[in-house]
Amino acid sequence: MNILLNPFLTNFNSAPFQTIKNKDFKPAIITLIEEAKKEISTIVKNTDAPTFKNTIEALEFSGQQLDRVTSIFFNLNSAETNDEIQKIAQEVSPLLTEFGNDITLNEGLFKRVKSVFDNKSSLDLNTEQTTLLDKKYKSFSRNGANLDQDKKHQLRSIDKQLASLKLKFGENLLAETNAFEMLITDKKDLSGLPEGAIEAAKQLAESKNKKGWLITLDYPSYIPFMTYADNRELRKKLALASGAKGFKNDALDNQNNVLDIAKLRYQRAQLLGYKTHAHFVLEERMAQTPEKVITFLNELLDKAKPAAEREFANLQEFAKKMDGIDQLEKWDSSYYSEKLKQKLFNLDDEQLKPYFQLEKVIDGAFQVANKLFGLQFKSIDTIDKYHEDVMTYEVLDKDNELVSIFYADFFPRAGKRNGAWMTSFKPQYVKDGVNERPHISNVCNFTKPTKSKPSLLTFNEVTTLFHEFGHALHGMLANTIYPSLSGTSVFWDFVELPSQVLENWCYEKEALELFAKHYQTNEVIPMELVQKIKESASFHEGMQTLRQISFGLLDMNWHGKDPSFIKDVKSYETEAFKNTRLFPEVKENCMSTAFAHIFQGGYSSGYYSYKWAEVLDADAFDYFKEKGIFNKEVASKFKDHVLSKGGTDNPMTLYKRFRGQEPKPEALLKRAGLIK
């Protein structure tokens, strides 16, 4: 193909979605890898003595166009993929891994970086420059630069295999999710389901030329059915299908992928001189060691388990009284929890949903950002989108200066993976005196509008939207010099603080009054409902906490030990769950084979960070509540010391500058109702 016609090889600011074709990606990536190699070669061949500027800064700003194109490509592979894109991903991933290794195993380059690193005490570097230097040095040392040639070759081989296995794991999971359909043809099997869920199921069936109501494993279809459907057998069928993803001994099975990924990660860590993959990962986290993580999780377990067991016993008793259920199963959990919650608080999602129209919730998030940080969001149609559902905005400050471009993509579709995430199409950085502003994206999976109703969110979806928007603000408000330290480029157990802290505004009267308005009458949500939301916030918090701890411990079991002896994924997982199990074991189901966070995403040895960040967020929000949830002084401190600083300094240092003290876990335990 004619490289000159490739839009990726021209200067572009926002991603040129309308002009790119799938066939453009691979040639562009190959060409840009070669260009980046030339930039590296220029640094290595420089005859001047290595300095921070000619080596560390030059390396930081090398390969920028390649970074842009690969971020666009892999974002599409998550949000708008197809067979062709997946095939290209399998082809380019090894090339990119190889290129990454070409850099980290380049002896001439490492020699120059090491020379600057060894002389850092004599250099007059500021905090951000010192952090960048440390990060660059570690990117070599933690990736094999100090190894001999044989071991370097082993490392390259492991990294290529891992890149391919992680992609395969994700592809299998997406294919499993898309393959399952439960067509309901008898209306009585819809008993208990809210009207909106029934309408959405009918619309989905019609879109596939089927008669009846279609239920799938996509969250907006799966969650309402598991929560409201009276038909226990159909709930069981759906739960078993969801729990068996990647665990059917067929072409889409992930058991060997899980074992291979865990074993290769362990081998890689050993090669680099670390005891386990978790020891390797946690060196670059606030938690620092696996022992500290396990202690943290077990201390929480001690507090949460008695509460969880009490809640489970109450739920079991409630189900028995209500329907004569002798043994509560996993497919009963959401259903009876919702019924008990309705009884205790006279509150259910269907009561709340009319007050949470998607457009108004988005506007509410924007208003909260405006009140806290002075941001304005202006809808624009002048930049390309990768799908018609995507909404695009200019984000401006109080002086109408551009802060960021923002993409919002909120509805499920076949080419989009489940879940919710924040990502970026362009990082923030300062180069040649120009502060390049970031292009940030939020991707979620909420129920689409139907013929009779707009998109109405459950309260859980409202907090999800605010959560991802918190990550987005971390990206948007970035104000650092170097792209690799900008925005969400922070220690993994710190990255959830901005997202989780923003969820707190969803429970506050002052914030809810801005956007929780009935989609038909525009009536503000009644304050007794707000009170019930707050009271019910810690409902089954013991069980929820136990669930999160169980995932964190499973992660540490896979990555904090030598996995080479593991023969059977299911039995190993069962053992890992033994101290956190409430429900009977389901032999047909396995969590690990669908645990994308740790086997596909970046959460390996890091799942604990959700609870870790909850300690930070509860403590941080206590400060806001003390001074007022829209207090400008506290908001400015949070923006100046946390949101804008990215990874330029140690996160605990940044947190203490904002808060004036280290976080205290009591705030979380109190909020969760686990201590008085």
Is a pLDDT exceeding 90 seen at residue 313? yes
Question: What share of the chain in percent tops pLDDT 70?
Answer: 99
Q: How confident is the model at residue 69 (pLDDT cuts 50, 70, 90)?
A: very high
The candidate with the shortest Cα–Cα distance to 454, out of 561, 357, 314, 525, is 357
Low-confidence winner among 322-326, 347-351, 572-576, 599-603 (lowest mean pLDDT): 347-351
Q: What is the largest CA-CA distance in the chain?
A: 82
**Whole-number pLDDT of residue 537:** 85
Q: Confirm if 441 and 409 have CB atoms less than 8 A apart.
A: yes
**Whole-number pLDDT of residue 4:** 59
Q: Which residues are catalytic?
A: 468
- How many residues are listed for the chain in this entry? 676
The contacts of residue 653 (CB under 8 Å, 6+ apart) are: none
Q: Confirm if 198 and 204 have CB atoms less than 8 A apart.
A: no
The candidate with the shortest Cα–Cα distance to 272, out of 161, 145, 101, is 145
Mean pLDDT for all residues in the chain = 95
Please give the average per-residue pLDDT across 102-117, as a whole number.
Answer: 94
Give the separation between CA 630 and CA 369, rounded to whole angstroms. Answer: 10
Q: Confirm if 533 and 507 have CB atoms less than 8 A apart.
A: yes
Q: What are the φ/ψ torsions at residue 326 (nearest 5 degrees)?
A: -80, -35
Is a pLDDT exceeding 70 seen at residue 630? yes
Give the separation between CA 317 and CA 387, rounded to whole angstroms. Answer: 48
Q: Give the dihedral sign, CA 147/150/152/157.
A: negative
Please give the average per-residue pLDDT across 460-464, as a whole number.
Answer: 95
Q: Which domains does the chain have, with CATH numbers?
A: 3-146 (1.20.1050.40), 180-243 (no CATH), 354-537 (1.10.1370.40)
Q: Give the dihedral sign, CA 495/501/506/512.
A: negative
Give the separation between CA 446 and CA 327, rounded to whole angstroms. Answer: 32
Is a pLDDT exceeding 80 seen at residue 3? no
Is a pLDDT exceeding 50 seen at residue 1? no
Give the separation between CA 363 and CA 341, rounded to whole angstroms. Answer: 29
**Whole-number pLDDT of residue 154:** 96
Structure tokens at 318: 């409630």
Is a pLDDT exceeding 50 seen at residue 359? yes
Please give the average per-residue pLDDT across 374-401, as a whole number.
Answer: 97
Is a pLDDT exceeding 70 seen at residue 2? no
Model confidence, pTM: 0.83
Q: Confirm if 560 and 294 have CB atoms less than 8 A apart.
A: yes
Structure tokens at 292: 């500290």
Q: How confident is the model at residue 493 (pLDDT cuts 50, 70, 90)?
A: confident
Give the separation between CA 511 and CA 630, rounded to whole angstroms. Answer: 9
The candidate with the shortest Cα–Cα distance to 165, out of 99, 82, 73, 263, is 263
Please give the average per-residue pLDDT across 433-449, as a whole number.
Answer: 95
**Whole-number pLDDT of residue 105:** 85
